[in-house]
Chain A
Amino acid sequence: MPSRLAFVGVWLVLLALLGISMAVTLLELGPWHAALNMILAAASAVLVVWFDMHLRESSGILKLFATGTIIFLLIMFSFGLADWPTR
């Protein structure tokens, strides 16, 4: 299990990502900022799952279920969202 300091480190990174996300939003990057915002959110979520939720030290089956869920969410989004732009 990581040391306390490591968790604090993760926390600082999370805050930094939030800061970057705000900067990206306020910089008026046009359509890019939406994608960047979501990527930054995904990165933060991965950090929380991997470290704070201890997935790193968990058994393979838990990792499998965590990734599996993401795959099913991606199915919902990719197939579902494909509908509107192609109508």
Chain B
Amino acid sequence: MTAEAKKAPPKSYIEDGHTLRSWFFSTDHKGIAVLYLVSITLFFFVGGAAATLIRLELLSPNGFILSNDAYNRLFTIHGVIMVWFFLIPSIPNTFGNFLIPIMIGAKDLAFPKLNLASWWIFVFAGCFVIAALLIGGVDTGWTFYAPFSTMFSNGYVIPAVVGVFISGFSTILTGLNFIVTVHRLRAPGMTWFRLPLFVWSIYATSLVMVLATPVLATTLLLIFAERVFGLGFFDPQLGGDPVLYQHMFWFYSHPAVYIMVLPAFAVMSELMTAFSKKHIFGYKVIAFSSLAIAGLGFLVWGHHMFVAGESVYVGLVFSVLSFTIAVPSAIKVFNWTATMRKGYVSFDAPMLFALGFIGLFVIGGLTGLFVAATGLDVHLTRTYFVIAHFHFIMVGGTVSCYFGALHFWWPKMTGRMYPEMPGRIVALLIFFGFMLTFMPQFILGWLGMPRRYHLYPPEFQVLNVLSSAGASILAVAYTAPLFYLAWSLFYGKRAGLNPWGAAGLEWMIPSPPPRENFETVPVVTWEAYPYPLEPQPVAKEDGR
């Protein structure tokens, strides 16, 4: 199609309807992605507010604003909201929803109504958790360990547990939808090995979602039944074993950390290729390592229980397997860095986030090996070392990638460019603010400061103040995009089809995409990441 006078271009998904109803009840995967984006952003700031208070409290060794009980409730609500209402849905439910159908050349997910239902279930679940927070909070920690949660806690465990339980169905249904979509809706020519690696990684995530989340559901159901009906399951007086609770919880929760980080891997492969203008290094290795991580992720849960009373022999096995899971993760990191070699690397904001991810994820992953060593873990477990370890991965890694993805696909989702300079500044602030916040926590943990206490010996104060200072930088850096992205919605430069000159079906359709994504079903004849791109006839649409 050349100079032929084109008919009016199809309306974008945003212009497809202007009523609230058209947003809240549309089954369009792109609209639902936006719903998720807005709702998890709200949760992110609720969880962030709790974190701010925690860091504020820890400025002083003797706790100057919060009671013991209030402190317990704060870190619990922080964990519950950040894990289940921000991180787990973050990349899959927003960018996965938005991109998977487009990347595989489909019009929508396989079950659009189910997709909409997932969002409503998610919001419904969120109401319970927010209610738990408002009526007084929960003091068990995000892990809801029995028998404290079942027999002794006087917090509002029930609404929190019900909220998390319900949110699990949203996760399961989303994972199911993605799995079926990737299997059944790929466009002609879109073979498995032509899929963007984003799709592979989200597919692996979906498998974990579907297989692990139901175990959490059962575990929470047992807590519920024990608290409400007095049916003891983990009550030591009856011969119940609290370690059984931990087995069940971590059978879900270790795989769940991969639900949180695999999507970041998904984003990484896209960012590194787009900003190096190079084919990915080792496509198949990355694709299969995603599946390997998803599978191996089910074999290591016992590394959370080395000191909980688990058998030492079993602990040993879990420890060794935990070391092996670092291998596929490391392979990926090497592949991403190798992708940059001899590429035309540019340092736009998304790429800065991606590079930040590499630095922070490597530190998080390596310290994972420390805590996976049974002997060392006796010293490090339940200290700030563990806190720093998983924040490096989940916040340094995944949240950085989430922001990288947000900047990278913002032009596609909204049709507008974000302002580049603030984007880069925020990327740098997040990296350095993060380092300042969590590096001192490694040292604190090494020195023996336990987690989950707000009182600590005065000699730890300097490191804690440093950490809180870093947290205040993070607070600014995480809030700033809210403003400049909102600004860009109205005043940002028009993006055009492909502002990054990136490969992938999503960059061949208008920004924002029309309701149907593609006018005609695309026929794919190329491999993923065919850089350098052949000059595309339609690609250069002047930014205006």
Show the binding face of A for B, using Cβ within 8 Å.
61, 69, 72, 75-76, 79-80, 82-84, 86-87
Contacts and interface: CB of A to CB of B under 8 A. Distances in A.
B299 A82 contact: no
B211 A72 contact: yes
A80 B251 contact: yes
Nearest to A85: B311
A75 B314 contact: no
A37 B302 CA distance: 30
Interface in B170-196: 183
Nearest to B318: A79
Contacts of B37: none
Given A61-B183, A72-B211, A79 B299 contact: yes
Given A61-B183, A69-B211, A76-B251, A83 B299 contact: no
Interface residues of B, number: 18
B247 interface: yes
Interface of B: 183, 211, 215, 243, 247, 251, 298-299, 301-302, 309-314, 317-318
B242 to A, nearest CB: 13
**Of listed B215, B247, B318, residue having the most chain A CB within 10 A:** B247
B314 A79 contact: yes
**Of listed A79, A80, A87, residue having the most chain B CB within 10 A:** A79
Contact of A75 (B183, B299, B309, B312): B299
B247 A80 contact: yes
Nearest to B321: A79
A83 B243 contact: yes
Contacts of B247: 80, 83
Contact of A72 (B298, B309, B314): B298
A76 B215 contact: yes
B298 A75 contact: yes
Contacts of A79: 299, 301-302, 314, 317-318
Contact of B311 (A61, A75, A76, A87): A87
A70 B25 CA distance: 37
A69 B215 CA distance: 13
B307 to A, nearest CB: 13
A75 B309 CA distance: 20
6 contacts: A61-B183, A75-B298, A82-B314, A83-B302, A84-B311, A87-B310
A75 to B, nearest CB: 5
